Structure 1
Amino acid sequence: MTENPRPLLIGATAADPKRAIFIWNAIRKYFNEVGLEMEYALYSTYDALCSAVLEGHVDIAWNAPMAHAQLLLQSPDACRTLAMRDTDEDVHTLIVARADAGITDLDDLRGRRLALGVDVSSELFLLPVAQLAEAGFDVESDCELVELEPTEYPNLQSWVDDWAIFGAVVDGRADAGVIFEPWLPSLMRRHPVTEHDIVEVWRTRPYSHCAFTAGPDLGDDISARFVELLVAMDPDEPEIAEMMRMEHLTKWVRATDDGWGDLMGAVEKAELVGKIF
């Protein structure tokens, strides 16, 4: 494909509609000004967005890790990774505990209370559980799993998030909890704890998080042009800077499929391929 016959259509979800509209208006304005005509469509869920990608209605999706991994699994060698935020590179999931809990490694965690996310959460369940199993730790038998009340989000999905897990560790309902490392500084600031009160017990291998996923029918030349212009965004331009602040990045970076291998393996092991995005 040497020329896009219509505007490039990028899909995303609208979990936070006000922020999403500002973010995507800024991105659309940028691309149109630099000569790649684009439109965007906001979907209520990743299931709906990824279905639109697989059916050819959306050219590129801005995806959470589970949705991205599922598209790579369901459309191998067709859907592919284009780019991500610099803050999506080499991230980790941690197990943290209060310093006074006497837990410094996985052996100390045996028989203790552990808080996890819901069983379809990529960073708060699937990735850590799979890698803990590799390390000889079975969360079903080697510790006591703490049940936490899920938070219901505006898109009608319910999740046990980092905020609930960290709160349970701080107030003693859990001896340890699984946390997405980039959120840890914010969690520490919002609770009456210092860096001396919380210890890291264990961490996953580094992995990649959110990503732009190319749909099966997107030509290589158009996808290359999209990535070229995306990474060329000027973070010093005020509207771009505000968009990047809202989207938690300082620059866009090129990416390949490599950073999602562990998650894809965990999804396959849990027999979740195609069942949830």
Structure 2
Amino acid sequence: MALTCLVAFAAATGAQARELVLGRVSDDPRQHYEQLRPLLDYVVPRMRDVGITGGRILMARDAAQMASYLRRGRVDWFTETAASAMLLERKAGARPLLLTERNGVSRYHTVFFARTDSGVSGLDDLRGRSIALQSRASTSAYFVPVMELLERGLPMEMLPTPTEDGTPDSVGFVLARSESNIAIWVHKGLVDAGAMSSLDWERPTTMSPSFRPDLRIIHETGEYPRALEMVRGDLEPAVAARLREVLLQAADDPAAREALAHFFGTTRFIALDPRNEAGLDYLRRAVARVVEEVE
């Protein structure tokens, strides 16, 4: 009876009764489901006035599958790190909705580092040498460092292993899969340099304090957004506007506190301003250039 009344109300107000679908690119769907569900359960009841009658989570195995979901209208809203979000904007027309602050941090930057005895003191010294990055999905440890090197006229060449030699004119990069591996490979001298986020550089579980005396920072980038809430490009304006409103208000609502904590340690959602838009423009350029010149 309640659902019938809700459908009738939605029809009367011009809204189409339906589910809100929250998506996620995931290599661990079970864990991510537990992180996503509480916030979806918080949001859905607050969107009944725009015809939302329920919520569902849809996992994608990779960015290509998520792009397909977005183009076909199967996902309405998703959360992503900034460069991956810009990649899906490029591939599927997704739109930024809000900045996501996680554990009190909404912006960060990339740190390049090398051993103090490596002879590497700046990015130009990396020509003919090697650098460890994380994975193709990483903003701070892939898209941004590759963009910084390309902008200095340094061609990038992917190496299959840390011990493989690249060409003398390029920078060989190897994907270490984790930030802790990047730190270890640089410290052991398997690669000449590494790049990671400023947060990981300061995190003892990633960068062992015992490594620090042997390492030095050789370059730091400007700041850029850490993560974003995105919606598909053709999401109904009323639904997108109400979702934005609900998320913006969540940090001030005690009822949302636990759901936000589960949602990847989110502390609040922030409206995009000119400073953050400039950061996204930089990441758009980075994604476009890396895709065209490296991948």
Matched residue, 2:26 = 14
Residue pairs, 1:64-213, within 5 angstroms: 64-74=81-91, 79-87=94-102, 89-118=106-135, 121-139=138-156, 141=168, 145=172, 147=174, 160-186=177-203, 191-193=208-210, 195-213=212-230
The answer on whether the counterparts of 2:63 and 2:88 sit within 8 Å (CA) in structure 1 is no
Matched residue, 1:153 = none
CA distance in 1, matches of 2:241, 2:17: 16
40-49 vs 169-178, greater mean Cα deviation:
40-49
Superposition RMSD on alpha carbons, in Å?
3.4
CA distance in 1, matches of 2:59, 2:156: 37
CA distance in 2, matches of 1:220, 1:124: 34
Partner residue of 1:229 out of 220, 223, 246: 246
Matched residue, 1:154 = none
Aligned amino acid, residue 225 of structure 2: S
- CA-to-aligned-CA distance 1:223-249 (integer Å, 9 cap, x gap): 121111112224784873464266033
Aligned CA distance change for structure 1 residues 221 and 258 (closer, same or farther; 3 Å)? farther
- CA-to-aligned-CA distance 1:125-144 (integer Å, 9 cap, x gap): 33222222323444555565
CA distance in 2, matches of 1:8, 1:242: 17
Q: Quick one: higher RCO (CA 8 Å, sep 6+), 1 or 2?
A: 1
Aligned CA distance change for structure 1 residues 174 and 246 (closer, same or farther; 3 Å)? farther
Q: Secondary structure at the match of 2:224?
A: coil
CA distance in 1, matches of 2:204, 2:173: 19
CA distance in 2, matches of 1:144, 1:9: 42
CA distance in 2, matches of 1:55, 1:245: 28
- Count of matched residue positions in the alignment of Structure 1 and Structure 2: 263
Aligned amino acid, residue 179 of structure 2: D
Aligned CA distance change for structure 1 residues 26 and 235 (closer, same or farther; 3 Å)? farther
The answer on whether the counterparts of 2:113 and 2:216 sit within 8 Å (CA) in structure 1 is yes
Partner residue of 2:44 out of 32, 35, 42: 32
Rg (Cα) greater in structure: 2
How many Å apart are 1:61 and its aligned residue?
2.1
Question: Which sections of structure 1, spanning at least 5 residues, go unmatched?
Answer: 151-159
251-260 vs 233-242, greater mean Cα deviation:
233-242
221-230 vs 86-95, greater mean Cα deviation:
86-95
The answer on whether the counterparts of 1:188 and 1:194 sit within 8 Å (CA) in structure 2 is no
Question: Which sections of structure 2, spanning at least 5 residues, go unmatched?
Answer: 1-12, 158-167
The answer on whether the counterparts of 1:235 and 1:244 sit within 8 Å (CA) in structure 2 is no
The answer on whether the counterparts of 2:131 and 2:174 sit within 8 Å (CA) in structure 1 is no
Aligned CA distance change for structure 1 residues 70 and 233 (closer, same or farther; 3 Å)? same
